[in-house]
Structure 1
Amino acid sequence: MGCCTGRCTLIFLCTLQLLAALERQIFDFLGYQWAPILGNFLHIIIVILGLFGTIQYRPKYIVVYSVWTALWVAWNVFIICFYLEVGGLSKDTDFMTFNISMHRSWWREHGPGCVRMEVPAPATRSLDDHSYISVTGCIVDFQYLEVIHSSYQILLALIGFVYACYVIRVFTEEEDSFDFIGGLDSYTYHHHSPLKASPVQLKPVYLSK
């Protein structure tokens, strides 16, 4: 297949997904968001697998990638619902940190235009409690930045799923065509060639003296 085919497009999409996942992984690490960190790690592995399968003409690897993109879309839809507090979800819970810590999204305190100020906490509470950190002046609230990140991931995953299905179909058709030309025809030729239909019988030759 040439450079302007679905295969090259899928390679480009996988590269974009890797870059986007690495960028997201960095900021999730900064915010100690353990659930997204685990999801990003699995996503990076599967995308690399899909990229390898596309380059090396391995349709089975691309099938794994296509199945994962569907799961990845579902996960990012959940994140959007979580930060928009849809269906009783609350962005102020510790779900993203597995209830290990009270950290929140890194963008909550470091978003565009945000001014972070520490407010003295009562003696009965820990100074590390994020509820006593005042953040003002944010141009875009952190939950909308998280929604934008997840929406971008969904867009790439959906396009990647479409091209993955297309590339799988093309690879499968090419394999079937190769088997027919190189396998079935060769088998038919060798087993039904008229040259091999009847063996040559050798007869003794008597020389006269």
Structure 2
Amino acid sequence: MGKCSGRCTLVAFCCLQLVAALERQIFDFLGYQWAPILANFLHIMAVILGIFGTVQYRSRYLILYAAWLVLWVGWNAFIICFYLEVGQLSQDRDFIMTFNTSLHRSWWMENGPGCLVTPVLNSRLALEDHHVISVTGCLLDYPYIEALSSALQIFLALFGFVFACYVSKVFLEEEDSCCALGVCSTRLAPTKHLPCPVASPLYPPPPPPS
């Protein structure tokens, strides 16, 4: 079949984005991080829209998908800065991630690789329905796990943005070529190697200029 086309590559990247977003959504749910949960949900919807636009040759959907990826890169850059406490950002501000509804942050705080969790009994710092713990022995601290997860999202988003722009440009050029022949359609031919759709009652030719 030869090399995979840009359209095929874009679908593959969208599938990788979808898997990565679903994995991240699961761990954010376990950590009760409501702001990331909302952002992940919007991202999943945008990726599905991108897949649909690629399969159905809808350039407008790809443009919306590419526009969302710009926001998604900005959000993940903020997540990296938040967990690494860049500038004035601090993890002590729970309301940023949980909308001030819980004290939970990252699920990886207690469940990271090699982490040993020890409850601190009779601590005065414990609030109602909460407990104080001591976490030691982690092979990789949770801020770096969260930062690496966001970095992966940015990597996939950048490639998805490039291919979305390329594929949407190809779709628009094919649509323009069809209109130049007097047959404008809301749906393009399957590939640029096939002829434009012929005139029919669904796609009548444009009226002659007066």
Q: TM-score, normalised by structure 1?
A: 0.84
Distance in 2, matches of 1:32 and 1:54, equals 33
The unaligned stretches of length 5 or more in structure 1 are 192-209
Distance in 1, matches of 2:69 and 2:125, equals 47
Larger Rg: 1
Q: CA offset at residue 122 of structure 1?
A: 3.2
Secondary structure of the structure 2 residue equivalent to 1:87: coil
Distance in 2, matches of 1:104 and 1:80, equals 14
Q: CA offset at residue 125 of structure 1?
A: 3.7
Seq. identity, %: 61
Q: CA offset at residue 70 of structure 1?
A: 0.2
Q: Does 1:181 align with 2:199?
A: no
1:41-91 CA-partner distances (Å, limit 9, x unpaired): 000001100110000000000000000000000000000000010111112
Could you tell me whether the CA contact under 8 Å between 1:121 and 1:127 is conserved in 2? no
Q: Residue 109 of structure 1 corresponds to which residue in structure 2? A: 110
Distance in 1, matches of 2:126 and 2:146, equals 29
Matches within 5 A, 1:123-134: 125-126=126-127, 128-129=129-130, 132-134=132-134
Q: Residue 8 of structure 1 corresponds to which residue in structure 2? A: 8
Matches within 5 A, 1:20-99: 20-94=20-94, 95-99=96-100
* Paired amino acid for 1:103: H
Q: CA offset at residue 158 of structure 1?
A: 0.5
The number of residues matched between the two structures is 188
1:137-165 CA-partner distances (Å, limit 9, x unpaired): 10000000000000000000001000000
* Paired amino acid for 2:107: W
Distance in 1, matches of 2:167 and 2:92, equals 42
1:103-155 CA-partner distances (Å, limit 9, x unpaired): 1100000000001111113357436445x211111000000000000000000
RMSD: 2.3
Distance in 2, matches of 1:181 and 1:146, equals 52
The unaligned stretches of length 5 or more in structure 2 are 185-197, 200-204
Could you tell me whether the CA contact under 8 Å between 1:85 and 1:91 is conserved in 2? yes
Distance in 2, matches of 1:120 and 1:62, equals 54
Closer, same or farther: CA 61–29 of 1 in aligned 2, 3 Å? same
* Paired amino acid for 1:98: F
Closer, same or farther: CA 168–35 of 1 in aligned 2, 3 Å? same
Q: CA offset at residue 92 of structure 1?
A: 2.7
Secondary structure of the structure 1 residue equivalent to 2:117: strand
